[in-house]
A and B are shown apart, each in its own frame.
Chain A
Amino acid sequence: MSATTSTGERLAHRRDAVAEIDRGSLSWPLAAAAVAAVATVVLLPVGRSEFAGIMWLWAAALVAVLGLNLLLPVESWNGIVVKWASLAGCVAFLAVFPVGRTNSTLVDLGLFVVFAIVCVGLNLTHGFAGKISLAQGAFLGIGAYVSVLLDTGREVAVAGFEGTLPDLPFLLAIAVAGLTCMVLSVLIGFPALRVQGPWLAFVTLAFNLLVYLVLNNEVGLTGGSRGLRTLRVDLVVFGVDLFETRNYYYFCLVFLLAATALVWWIVRSPWGRAFKALRDNPGRAASLGVDVRTYTLLAFSIGAGLAGVAGALYARLIEYIDPRGFYIGQSFDFFLATVVGGLGTMVGPFIGVSFITVLTDRLRFTGDYYRVWFGLFVVFMMLAAPRGVAGSFNQLRSWLRARREAAR
């Protein structure tokens, strides 16, 4: 009997908490402070590099877009115009700003794009379907290694087996990398997705550590800790020479736009509702005919597949991969970016990734302690805006709307 009471208690509490947030009464001054802090950091008077400068504008633009959306009610026609205009603006930004930049700036921007693909996928898995995953770093790694091993005709020796791997076209290698991750995620997800919350976090964490061990130890296959050179030489897709960093950046950007469009499509399709339903209340969803297991695996494997594709792009972007790059720290970064940006919002992952790729660098001017400040910033963000930047904007918006309605 006590078991059911405690479940009931938790449900009741949860309902209260949600209601409280939705009424906008949950420490909105703090949320405002969070926004102010974000703005302060974005506007910090440092421009160490070209990349930092671009990302400064980018982050400022995102915040401005959110601000506009905040002031104009979405339902109104103005709101819709602002929404589409800002979307077009963001795409144009990513497309136009790389013009005339140095190669290393383009690589940095490319990193932003690649990580954004991972986080857009993770946002579907975690933000919309509610399945926490600390294994995105591992999927990134699997994607990277699979693609590199499949399109170079490398000779390998693993577990007594020796052979020459095929030399697939790059696009096919990317597709295989994504599919491999999807299959693997279904294999581990099938048993693992019976558990939720922290348990799922620990299962995926352990999976990531295991993948790391395999990458590090199967020297015959992966080159082990010495890593693999993955030069872009001779990489031509549809007649475009990807050796040029600029071309490769746009190549990655196409994947980001496609990934974003895919997730956007899914979220507004009936699948999106099913995902949200099983995030909010899996038991109730099942009783209404939602195939919880299939949908969960779908959400998990789409996230993993996007991470795999991103991994394939990442390997050729950095032109060197080694297992340390796919350790749990990488997964923590993706997790952090998605949550800090705002779970379950389309713009959240972009904000989050801007922060992890730029913020530590921006804080360098504080001297030796710069990463301490970064840690403090993360802690503070969680205190002030537990639903992330975009989540806080939404909170502020409903609060403003409630005020407007009350005034009427």
Chain B
Amino acid sequence: MSTFIQISFSGLATGAIFALAAVGFALLWQTAGAINFAHGEFIALPAVIMLILGEMQPTLGLPDWVPVVGGTAIGGPLPEMGIIVAFVLTIPLAVLVLGWLFKVSLVDRLLTPGGDDIPLVIASLGLALMIREYLRVEFGAAPKQFESVFGNDRWRPGGIPVSADDVGVLVVCVLVILALQLFLRRTSTGRQMEAAAQSPTTARVLGIPVGRMVLYTFAINAVLVTVAALLVAPTTHARWDAGISLSLVAFTAAIIGGFNQVRGALIGGFLVGLLQNWSGYYLSSAYREAIPLLLMILVILWRPQGLFGIAEERRI
């Protein structure tokens, strides 16, 4: 029994990571109709940026002889910024590049209403390659450790290994996704965004600024991938090719959970994490990745709104 609890807990912790990867993907697909095959790279990129920023020692441009203020020398290089400061600095960058720039340069041009999705899919494949290769050249092929913001503490209550990082990621992941769900359902901006997603023409007639609402979606996605990067990177490490597996997991979790519901990503992520560990332990390690894929196929064929999604018009 304790074995079951142990691998299940671990599955949930990994599932939280999958959920974080999936939520932004689901959000863009649901509210902007944009299928982003570069989603994993959108998470890998900010992780690397944060790592680089975090190790920077900013200077205020003052000469060394400027006296010490409050115990710190403010002339000369300051101490390393640390990951939290880097995170805060990365968010606006991400919103600008992964949000606004992505929207205006690619999505707006390629996703004509009623046109097909193929050009955007291809372009996002190209974009994924660009980001990946850029990271490899600039940052090197070797993975780098990314410190967890929750520290390295570990406990073993009742023989079940638990780390601060697992707990922290689980809690933050659930909070972030529920908050997003509440925002979309309960605030007027959120509801306008949903309306704009479901029927742009009707929304426009109702006076909803559709363009701005879609822009909000991309901005939120950019923040989400940055948060995901912060939480995911301690496990996957900061590396150039982390995006490939993250993308696959994001598709699987989002589709299984139901991409028309933000919380579907949460459930899908947990399910994928649990299924992988259960099949790894009870069935065969070799096919641990096969079970979620089979489930995804079944879901698409027989319950395309996702296991826990809300049925709506079958837009397929």
Contacts and interface: CB of A to CB of B under 8 A. Distances in A.
Interface in A342-358: 343
Contact of A197 (B130, B137, B316): B316
Contacts of A9: 114, 199, 201
B109 A383 contact: yes
A206 B122 contact: no
Given A6-B199, A194-B301, A369 B286 contact: no
B289 A195 contact: no
Nearest to B293: A206
B294 A197 contact: no
A372 B137 contact: yes
Contacts of A332: 125
A161 B259 CA distance: 42
Interface in A378-401: 378-379, 382-383, 386
B176 interface: no
Interface string B125-159: 11111110110010000000000000000000000
A209 interface: yes
A349 B290 CA distance: 32
Interface in A255-293: none
Contacts of A203: 297, 300-301
Interface string A1-34: 0110111011111111100000000000000000
A15 B119 CA distance: 18
Chain B binding surface, main DSSP class: helix
Chain A binding surface, main DSSP class: helix
B201 to A, nearest CB: 6
Contacts of B312: 3
B116 A383 contact: no
A363 to B, nearest CB: 11
Interface stretch (A108-116, A240-248, A333-341): A333-341
Given A14-B115, A192-B301, A369-B134, A217 B287 contact: yes
Contacts of A213: 286-287, 289-290
Given A206-B296, A332-B125, A336-B125, A379 B301 contact: no
A9 B113 CA distance: 9
A132 interface: yes
A379 B115 contact: no
A368 B118 contact: no
Contact of B300 (A7, A12, A195): A195
A371 interface: yes
A207 B300 CA distance: 12
Contact of B133 (A11, A12, A336, A375): A375
Interface string A132-164: 100000000000000000000000000000000
Contact of A377 (B126, B131, B301): B126
A198 interface: yes
B2 interface: no
A10 B116 CA distance: 11
A70 interface: no
A382 B313 contact: no
B17 to A, nearest CB: 19
A386 B110 contact: yes
Contacts of A201: 121
B248 interface: yes
Interface in B1-48: 29, 35
B110 A382 contact: yes
A371 B293 CA distance: 30
A209 B248 contact: yes
B114 A207 contact: no
B187 interface: no
B215 to A, nearest CB: 19
Contacts of A379: 106, 123, 126-127, 130
B126 A382 contact: yes
Nearest to A340: B122
B199 A2 contact: yes
A20 B277 CA distance: 52
B272 to A, nearest CB: 12
Contacts of A197: 116-117, 316
A2 B126 CA distance: 36
B125 A7 contact: no
Contacts of A10: 113-114
Contacts of B293: 206, 209-210
A101 B133 CA distance: 33
Contact of B122 (A191, A216, A382): A382
Nearest to A20: B112
Contact of B199 (A5, A14, A206, A340): A5
Output the residue of A132, A194, A198, A383 with the most chain B CB within 10 A. A198
A196 interface: yes
Contact of A191 (B119, B290, B301): B301
B118 to A, nearest CB: 6
Nearest to B134: A372
A251 interface: no
Contacts of A198: 29, 35, 117, 121
Interface in B278-309: 286-287, 289-290, 293-294, 296-297, 300-301, 304
Contacts of B116: 197
Nearest to B294: A210
A199 B251 contact: no
26 contacts: A3-B312, A10-B113, A13-B112, A14-B114, A17-B114, A132-B118, A191-B301, A192-B297, A201-B121, A202-B251, A202-B300, A203-B297, A209-B289, A210-B290, A213-B289, A335-B122, A343-B118, A375-B133, A376-B130, A378-B126, A378-B129, A379-B130, A382-B126, A383-B106, A383-B109, A386-B118
The 8 A-B residue pairs with the shortest CB-CB distance, nearest first, are A13-B114, A378-B126, A375-B130, A375-B129, A14-B114, A3-B313, A386-B119, A382-B123
Interface of B: 29, 35, 106, 109-110, 112-123, 125-131, 133-134, 137, 198-199, 201-202, 248, 251-252, 255, 286-287, 289-290, 293-294, 296-297, 300-301, 304, 312-313, 316
Given A7-B313, A198-B29, A379-B126, 7 more contacts: A11-B114, A192-B301, A335-B122, A339-B122, A375-B131, A386-B110, A386-B119
